[in-house]
Amino acid sequence: MIYSISPHLNRCLLYNQGLIPYLEAHGWQRSLLNQRIQDPTLDDVLILLEHPPVYTLGQGANSDFLKFDIDKSQYDVRRVERGGEVTYHCPGQLVGYPILNLQRYRKDLHWYLRQLEEVIIRVLAVYRLQGERIPAFTGVWLQGRKVAAIGIKVSRWITMHGFALNVCPDMTGFERIVPCGIPDKAVGSLAEWIPGITCQEVRFYIAQSFAEVFGVEVVEMQPERFFRFE
């Protein structure tokens, strides 16, 4: 399937994956990023997937935002190179990892973050929901509840990491952290407003909105067979 607007300037390869362990997806991202640093002419990529339960902390994130002892934890916890504080991934949360060469768009990280927010806001609009931004914070809120978290890493203007949209997850995992380090902002999921919503249907709207916001032709590829990346 091809998602596009006319005219488009660039092509973006879409990989619609299933439930992928965090470390495998992280290794895949790093591999794609390194390939594009070596050869900037390669197509951009958007990966959409879900993760088994895992907590991730951004580079420099404060572990005090964990409500459990990280050294004695029964939970899977990973510190990675993205920006931002602690967040939680689990099935029912749709995660998007764009591997984009920002030299094709705009070499401006604030612009890029706002574009990712706009993708989510347009998806919510499909369901007649008004997504909101809050000044000084990154992400998307719905009636005061944060439904999408965003954290990125950029190397030589090639992006990795991305966004996580709470579609229909088990929200209890968020009770063990201060999500994104914001103690006075609750988290929410789209299922609270749209009972029965699934990640599968939202994937289509993410791809469509991504094509519109970034002005690209999104070309759906066959899912990759995963192995462990070193």
**Topology of 2-221 in CATH?**
BirA Bifunctional Protein; domain 2 (3.30.930)
Q: Which of 55, 165, 36, 179 is nearest to 102 (CA)?
A: 36
Lowest mean pLDDT among 44-53, 115-124, 219-228: 219-228
* pLDDT tens-digit series, residues 113-137: 999 999 999 999 999 999 999 988 9
Mean pLDDT of 37-53: 97
Mean pLDDT of 16-23: 95
* pLDDT tens-digit series, residues 182-212: 676 789 999 999 999 999 999 999 999 999 9
Residue 178 has pLDDT above 70, yes or no: yes
* Residue 229 confidence (pLDDT): 46
Mean pLDDT of 64-72: 73
* Residue 227 confidence (pLDDT): 47
Residue 225 has pLDDT above 70, yes or no: no
Is 199 among the catalytic positions?
no
Q: Would you place residue 37 in the very low, low, confident or very high pLDDT band (cuts 50, 70, 90)?
A: very high
In angstroms, the CA 11 to CA 200 distance is: 23
Q: Domain residue spans in the chain?
A: 2-221
Helix (H/G/I), strand (E/B), else coil: 178: coil
Q: Would you place residue 8 in the very low, low, confident or very high pLDDT band (cuts 50, 70, 90)?
A: low
Burial of 122 (0-12, 13-18, 19+ CB in 10 A): middle
* pLDDT tens-digit series, residues 23-32: 999 999 999 9
Q: How many residues does the chain have?
A: 230
Answer positive or negative: Cα dihedral of 206, 212, 215, 218: positive
Q: Would you say the pTM of this structure is higher than 0.85? A: yes
Q: Would you place residue 174 in the very low, low, confident or very high pLDDT band (cuts 50, 70, 90)?
A: confident
